[in-house]
Amino acid sequence: MAQSKKGSVAEALTNCAIGFPINFILNILILPLTWDDAHKMRSAFITGLAFTVVSVIRQVYIRRWFNAIKAHWNTGE
């Protein structure tokens, strides 16, 4: 069974609510380590890559969490 529109919105909002503090902390931790004014393009690429990796991992876990919730509701446990 496909995810409902309400379920999709709930998942997207959860992803944003969890993602914002993660990204805020990641900014504080990663930018000082990766940013080099002499190599701005490389710095931006490395920073963007780090954020992308964290985002994909976060989305996988949130999707699995929502699928588990959906499975729980469908089985009536």
Structural domain that includes position 39: 5-72
**32-to-23, 25, 47, 54, 72 alpha-carbon distances in Å:** 14, 12, 10, 17, 43
Helix runs in 1-77, H state only: 5-34, 40-75
Region 57-74 average pLDDT: 90
Instruction: Judge whether 14 lies within some domain.
Output: yes
pLDDT band, very low/low/confident/very high, at 45 (cuts 50, 70, 90): very high
Region 45-50 average pLDDT: 94
How many distinct structural domains can be found in the chain?
1
Among 56, 53, 55, 51, which residue's Cα sits nearest to residue 31? 51
Instruction: Judge whether 25 lies within some domain.
Output: yes
Instruction: Judge whether 77 lies within some domain.
Output: no
Is 0.85 topped by the overall pTM?
no
Mean pLDDT of the chain: 91
Among 30, 19, 25, which residue's Cα sits nearest to residue 55? 19
Instruction: Judge whether 46 lies within some domain.
Output: yes
